[in-house]
Amino acid sequence: MKKVRAGTLDIAYFDTGPADGVTTILLHGFPYDAHAYDETAEILAASGHRCIVPFLRGFGATSFVSGNTPRSGEQAALGADLLALLEALSIEAAFLGGYDWGGRAACIVAALWPTRVRGLVSCGVGYNIQDIARAGDPAPPEEEARYWYQYYFHSERGRKALEQNRRGLCEFIWKIWSPTWMFDSATFDRTASSFDNPDFVDVVIHSYRHRFGYGPGDPGVAAIEDQLARQPDITVPTIVLQGGDDGVDPPVTIDLDERHFKAGYERRIIPGAGHNLPQEAPHAFASAILDLSKAASTTLP
């Protein structure tokens, strides 16, 4: 594991593959960590990719530089963190892959700074930029039921549950979001240690409150949040992966996200995979990155 000062964070990350390889950044979600990409990174490294796999803010060994920085989990902060990581590692452009929170960060950078992105793999919700202005609009009942954890975290009862039993709560989420993934206790424990980060609870609670307008944003990323409110399109080649057994974001027949992608788009539904797609189906995830990389290499002058 390595660490680098990037913006408001000291970001911990794994660096796998040849130093001069095709730079690929892989971003995990909640409640997971960088180990979600252990096998995916090995596959890509064997194909010549240099894989940077960071721990997001509030997870693992990633820490805030200052005690005065808001422990924000809002989307703009996640996007700013990824951009800062690119700058800190002197990466001009990279392939980005992510799911859940990590997919959101990747989509944001692809939308707002497209010259920094060679291709995007986004899992679950393909266009993963929140429309906070419409967050109060009711969803169909079955969708509302799947989002119980978000409403739970709006309450102090939910916050206390996360503080007092974060491992039990997160393991339950793993099970219902990936109902056909038979992970063992060692696999969960390897990731669960990341939830011991002292900022984990604050960042998670803020994330799920801010997206519904129930918490103030970080003034330091307000300009980014303003741009995201316009729901910008994504103008880099994109492959969206969706787990056929995803218990929180199941695939739908009509792809409503495709309209936001303007430079080549494909959706792939992966049978037998749930929400934690790169860890459950690493070959499918790696194949998407490799397909984008191959396509990019054929278009170079």
The 10s digit of each residue's pLDDT in 138-153 is 999 999 999 999 999 9
Task: Please report, rounded to a whole number, the percentage of residues in the chain having pLDDT higher than 70.
Answer: 99
User: How does DSSP assign the chain, residue by residue?
Assistant: -EEEEETTEEEEEEEES-TTSEEEEEE--TT--GGGGHHHHHHHHHTTEEEEEEPPTTSTT-EES-TTS-----HHHHHHHHHHHHHHTT-S-EEEEEETHHHHHHHHHHHH-GGGEEEEEEESSSS----GGGTTS---HHHHHHTHHHHHHTSHHHHHHHHH-HHHHHHHHHHHHSTT----HHHHHHHHGGGGSTTHHHHHHHHHHHTTT-SPPPGGGHHHHHHHTT---B-S-EEEEEETT-SSS---SS-SSGGGB-S-EEEEEETT--SSHHHHSHHHHHHHHHHHHHHHHHH--
pLDDT tens per residue across span 87-110: 999 999 999 999 999 999 999 999
pLDDT at 118 over 60: yes
Do 284 and 273 form a contact (C-beta atoms < 8 A)?
yes
pLDDT of 298: 76
Q: What is the pLDDT of residue 172?
A: 98
pLDDT score for 299 = 60
Say whether pLDDT at 189 is over 70: yes
What does the pLDDT look like over 20-75, one tens digit per residue?
999 999 999 999 999 999 999 999 999 999 999 999 999 999 999 999 999 999 99
Kindly state the percentage of the chain with pLDDT values over 90. Answer: 98
Task: Quick: pLDDT tens for 205-224.
Answer: 999 999 999 999 999 999 99
Domains in the chain, CATH or no CATH each? 2-299 (3.40.50.1820)
- The whole-number average pLDDT for the span 70-83 is 98
Q: pLDDT at position 297, please? A: 85
**Statement: residue 301 has pLDDT above 50:** no
Q: What is the dihedral of CA 53, 57, 63, 67, to 10 degrees?
A: 160
Question: Per-residue pLDDT averaged across 236-260, rounded?
Answer: 96
